[in-house]
Structure 1
Amino acid sequence: WLKEGLAQEKIKLGKKGPEVYPISVQPWDMPGYKIPGGDPHGKGGGQVFTIGNATLHKQTHGNFPAQRYIMSCVYEGLQVPMEAGIRIETRYFTKLLMDPRSKAMIRSLFLSMQELAKGARRPAGVAPFQVKKLGILGAGMMGAGIAYVSAQAGMEVVLLDTDQANAEKGKAYSEKLLKKALERGKTTEEKAGKLLGLITPTTNYDDLKGCDLVIEAVFENRDIKAEVTKKSEPMLAEGGIYGSNTSTLPITGLAEASAKPDNFIGIHFFSPVDKMQLVEIIMGKKTSDETLAKAMDYVKQIRKTPIVVNDSRGFYTSRCFGTYVGEGIAMLGEGVPPAMIENVGKMTGMPMAPLALNDEVALDLAYKVREQTKKDLGDKYVSGPADGLLEEMVVKIGRVGKKAGKGFYDYPADGKKKLWPGLSDLVGKSLDPESLEVQELKNRFLYIQALEAARCFEEGVVTDVRDADVGAILGWGFAPWTGGPLSLIDMVGAKEFVEACDRLAQKYGPRFTPSKLLREMASKGETFYGRFAPNKEKAAA
């Protein structure tokens, strides 16, 4: 009867004999029901909530409302009858929906991300393009990662380097990833062997013949990039395109080495390529819409999310990312205790602390990029507060980051990394932590990035609010709870944001000065998603 749904009653054996209840009565409605693990004030339950609450704050730093509300409604709901508990849960859910952080995250991490992944920015009228054979110039970490994800998508990959041993080493990166996948049961020997068979390590440019796409991933040096471009471009198949994986050098300048600059485009990956979801596609001045469409089709083939930006030094992601790590060095130079800088950086919701992130990227790389920028801009270069300290670390004392075992941190072979004790002596001053406002430090980290994102939008480097926000979160890990830097400005309010930045500019320098666009939006009470809504034109039509 129970299986057929015919029973109207159920029987519980009590101490005084059988007790009959309606079939609709749930276990928690029965007399003597005990909560599994104990109630919130019991020994077991109390420990669960105490430890759970500590873990929650450690992981989220209070930035994500959903997790906190879940803990709250469970804690409160377990202390009242079920019907009252459900009402409590409903109220928390409604409160969550009304939270601007929820709206921002849903928009950027769900709606916008899906739209971009499906080709929302792809030019219309261009026939679908499929990369069957891919050439990669440079078998370092980036080239090796691109080879892996491309072979994973079924492409024939030619991995070229100046030395055969280096090319083989690049292929070995895929072997290493596949070995881990096999150990975890995520692939089979047959599939792994097939993927490795698609990657051909070589030093011969003739092996590139017939490539639908060639991606250059060599050192950030114009001369080297120009040389490999001239050697490899003639090997492209008819209708093939050429992409550069540069992270900072302007595409228009690199395209000068190309015989077909309309087929030349920036395809900027992020490390590690197999884990990072974003690909930043950069349009040079002569890049055609057809080339853009083909590049986006390739990104779709490897199942990553593309954003489209226009040419600029550092493009979008590198420009904005640099402000975060640079602000950490600036704080250090002011005498803010290093541990406080790192803790506050993580409290903002960024995935890594700024000084640790500087070490990961490599201080000498940042220094070289800065020197190249100074050389290119000449008198137009504006020095920042981090410049002097960066030069001191790299040039004078040779602490260049994690790869050398010494940077802002020490990296002992037999233990965990720790902040270098000599930082305080290097700076020569140390502020009292009690005299510093944590919220102001958090704002400095977030607002300096949002300001640069707004400048990129005003300059036309980024032309779609979705690209700006999704690119920030996927590209350099901008605090996801904000929905992205432009969403953060909308959340704070343009007027309030501009006023806060003006105060920071007076105290810390012109880098916090709001742009003309932000002041205009502040005066009119506008938002980025109101004034520049991506579907606005379609709606009007």
Structure 2
Amino acid sequence: MKTIQYALAEESFGKVATITFDEPGSPVNTMCRQWQDDLSEVTAQVLKDREAIQGVILASAKSTFFAGADLKAVMRLTAADAPRVYAEIERVKKNFRTLETLGKPVVSCLNGAALGGGWELALVGHYRVAVDDSKVRFGLPEVTLGLLPGASGVTKMTRHLGLMAAQPYLLEGKTFGPREALALSLVHALVPDAAALRAQALSWIAANPGAQHPWDARDYEIPGGTPASPEVAAALSVAPAMLKKKTRGLYPAPEAILACMVEGALVDLETALRIESRYLARLMTGPNARAMINTFFFNLNAIKSGQSRPSGVPHSKPARVGVLGAGMMGAGIAYAQASRGMATVLKDVSRDKAEAGKAYSARITQPLVEKGRMSPADQASLLSRITATDQVADLAGCELIIETVFERRDLKAQVTQEAEPLLAPGGFFASNTSTLPISSLATASSRPDKFVGIHFFSPVDKMKLVEVIRGRQTDDETLARALDYVQALGKIPIVVNDSRGFYTSRTFGAFVMEGAAMLGEGIPAAAIENAGIQAGMPVGPLAVLDETALSLSVHVLDQTRADFAAENKTYIATPGELLVERMVKELKRPGRAAGGGFYDYPADKTDKTGMSARKSLWPELKPLFEKADVTWDINTLKDRLLYRQAVETARCLSEGVLTTVHDANIGSIFGIGFPAWTGGAMQFIYGMGVDAFIRRADALAAQFGPGFVLTSTVKDAIRQHQPTYC
């Protein structure tokens, strides 16, 4: 069946051709192979009808205008497909150019979102009219998927806005709504609803019979100047270095986009379009695009669409939620809830502590008020939704209560038993613990089937991920309601089955303890930290340990030993754990908050020159740990840090702690900062190639110990969960 419908209609001023996009069996329009063939056919028909028509309208029969490329097809590409991909891109752009150089006015009627290739299709129109709906998004987010807007997006946006002004929309993938598009002259008119689009289009066609794009006029100049302009040249001279600092050379798409913008601005339009096609063909057939598309499109959409949510449970959102503990975590959760319209009861042991927790929301929102992004009335309304209290009775009627108290079993049991009876009928209870098994905490509950883990990450207002942990007795309804609650907060939930450390804390621990183990082997601390940065982690493992507190790691170690002892078992600490324990108990270096750990933190935040003083590695690390005769290379250090996390993730999948690859990939990136260029911890394995990954892990295990060992069961799980794209 055809994906494009073509019709000629007689209007008062002559015939108008309407090209309507309507991909059968799909909720959105995509640039699938059938669409590409249909576009060539329709373009040929328009050429035949050229003398008879007065204009062309581009429209959509879907609720959105156009979604962009067929990403499943992209996932099947390899480097050998590059010549074919280049030819296909060029064919699409040839059809675009044919339509826009007919000498007839072309109007794009934007009834909904137009992203990626959809926005490039919209740019074919000389005139763009859109529905005035703030929920509608336009733009070119290809960079977030490891691609560039190669169906004329880079070339046209640069020529519309200029080399400097176009950068946020191309290098960062910034999207925009209809009103911002109107202010940028990327959209020319807004109408109240889709029914008004055609009339506006016809009116403009009648009034503009000789329409053309600005760059097709003889006197056209790129806004702001070309790369040869002194002002632009000065800015561009530092742009590559700034970009490299941000991407660390691990993300080819932003660098390709910048090169494409600059090179294209130095030549004529047709040459610029060919340059764009070459860059896109290389990216589309490369491993980075496959990794990022897999995770940031398919995996993320799997979570948003509820693929991990138990079926058959009606969706719900709690209207009133209690939070036990008004420290940083509890205060952050209270803000997240209140900002989404949920009534929140924030309880602590004293009214002063509870009010201090509520004040956190005031501190977060005040800058928004000062910048005009939130009205004082909206701020007051948000704060009014938080009730600060020291009275447990105020929790009465809450549909959900979350405890965020200190990581002590006895304390968590106490607050659970105090608060749980106050839940509304049908309510459920949650623990925000990051390490203690949910099933064991649920023993304090009178209804363990209504007890679940909801693990937020700090700071809550910035971190998008939330781990929803299913205890052994947690029922489907409670799990589903917990997922609904997290999504109602605008956050990304992953589902994890109960285990010590769950998924993220366990894998995060593997990362930081591998770094500590390296230090214990005599490898210089600076090399370890640089290896983490070069691999793409946000910061090095020793710095992360300082931020999260070495003393907390020791507390977890002590609790783990006690739990094992209670089961008549002995916990064997890893070399990294033993080194961290020595740092805290012997060397008295508990972490940043307590004055210092692996790093020193200057009390005076300026140095002698008046510049901001920075943290620096503790000088005593060198005589205490560094060994001159130890050999190492940076690539092996990087592999150890990445492979250790990937191996632990695969073990979690094998053990049933994780049940899906999409939860693993999204959790690793958004929860522990696993490098986005890899597509996540499991996609790192699949992108490497399963056999190649296993060979390298085996080699690392032989040299560096059991942390890298892949059992036959784990290897089988890796292969069984490998995704396919049909």
Normalized against structure 1, the TM-score is what?
0.88
1:265 aligns with 2:461: no
**Counterparts of residues 121-520 of structure 1 (less than 5 Å):** 121-378=308-565, 379-414=569-604, 415-430=613-628, 436-520=632-716
Shift of 1:45: 6.1
Q: Partner of 1:215: helix, strand, or coil?
A: strand
2:653–2:717 CA contact under 8 A, matched in 1: no
C-alpha spacing 1:47/1:328, structure 2 compared with 1 (3 Å): farther
* Structure 1 equivalent of residue 177 of structure 2: none
In structure 2, how many angstroms separate the alpha carbons of the residues matched to 1:338 and 1:363?
A: 16
In structure 2, how many angstroms separate the alpha carbons of the residues matched to 1:220 and 1:64?
A: 39
Shift of 1:431: 6.0
Q: Partner of 2:424: helix, strand, or coil?
A: strand
Give % identity. Answer: 46
2:338 partner amino acid: A
Shift of 1:528: 3.3
Q: Partner of 1:238: helix, strand, or coil?
A: coil
Q: Deviations along 1:229-253, whole A, 9 cap, x unmatched?
A: 1111100010000000000000000
2:650–2:717 CA contact under 8 A, matched in 1: no
Shift of 1:455: 0.2
In structure 1, how many angstroms separate the alpha carbons of the residues matched to 2:620 and 2:293?
A: 44
Q: Partner of 2:722: helix, strand, or coil?
A: helix
1:528 aligns with 2:715: no
In structure 2, how many angstroms separate the alpha carbons of the residues matched to 1:248 and 1:6?
A: 66
2:602 partner amino acid: P
Unaligned runs of 5+ in 1: 8-21
Shift of 1:331: 1.5
Moved more, 23-32 or 113-122: 23-32
1:252–1:286 CA contact under 8 A, matched in 2: yes
In structure 2, how many angstroms separate the alpha carbons of the residues matched to 1:97 and 1:469?
A: 21
* Structure 2 equivalent of residue 14 of structure 1: none
Q: Partner of 1:157: helix, strand, or coil?
A: strand
Q: Partner of 1:71: helix, strand, or coil?
A: helix
Q: Partner of 1:266: helix, strand, or coil?
A: strand
Shift of 1:394: 0.7
Q: Deviations along 1:436-470, whole A, 9 cap, x unmatched?
A: 32221111111100000000000000001111111
RMSD over equivalenced CA pairs, Å: 2.5
Normalized against structure 2, the TM-score is what?
0.67
Shift of 1:111: 2.9
Unaligned runs of 5+ in 2: 1-54, 56-102, 106-209, 605-612
Moved more, 391-400 or 273-282: 391-400
Q: Partner of 2:250: helix, strand, or coil?
A: coil
C-alpha spacing 1:285/1:520, structure 2 compared with 1 (3 Å): closer
1:77–1:84 CA contact under 8 A, matched in 2: yes
Shift of 1:223: 0.5
2:591 partner amino acid: G
Q: Deviations along 1:467-492, whole A, 9 cap, x unmatched?
A: 11111111111111111111010000
In structure 1, how many angstroms separate the alpha carbons of the residues matched to 2:223 and 2:421?
A: 72
1:233–1:242 CA contact under 8 A, matched in 2: yes
Moved more, 296-305 or 483-492: 296-305
Which of 70, 73, 85 is the aligned partner of 2:257?
70
Q: Deviations along 1:373-396, whole A, 9 cap, x unmatched?
A: 122124442321212221121111
1:490–1:527 CA contact under 8 A, matched in 2: no
Q: Deviations along 1:178-231, whole A, 9 cap, x unmatched?
A: 112212222111111111111111111111111100001001010000011111
Shift of 1:529: 3.1
C-alpha spacing 1:190/1:46, structure 2 compared with 1 (3 Å): closer
* Structure 1 equivalent of residue 174 of structure 2: none
Moved more, 68-77 or 306-315: 68-77
* Structure 2 equivalent of residue 89 of structure 1: 276
C-alpha spacing 1:386/1:238, structure 2 compared with 1 (3 Å): same
2:104–2:211 CA contact under 8 A, matched in 1: no
| Number of positions where the alignment pairs a residue of Structure 1 with one of Structure 2 | 510
In structure 2, how many angstroms separate the alpha carbons of the residues matched to 1:297 and 1:438?
A: 44
1:493–1:527 CA contact under 8 A, matched in 2: no
Shift of 1:106: 1.8
2:533 partner amino acid: K
2:412 partner amino acid: K
1:359–1:402 CA contact under 8 A, matched in 2: yes
1:226 partner amino acid: A
Using CA pairs under 8 Å that are at least 6 residues apart, name the structure with larger relative contact order, 1 or 2: 1
Moved more, 415-424 or 478-487: 415-424
Shift of 1:34: 8.7
2:403–2:432 CA contact under 8 A, matched in 1: yes
Q: Partner of 2:603: helix, strand, or coil?
A: coil
Moved more, 465-474 or 410-419: 410-419
2:700 partner amino acid: L
C-alpha spacing 1:262/1:31, structure 2 compared with 1 (3 Å): closer
1:482 partner amino acid: T
Shift of 1:100: 2.0
In structure 2, how many angstroms separate the alpha carbons of the residues matched to 1:32 and 1:287?
A: 66
* Structure 2 equivalent of residue 10 of structure 1: none
* Structure 2 equivalent of residue 19 of structure 1: none
C-alpha spacing 1:26/1:215, structure 2 compared with 1 (3 Å): closer
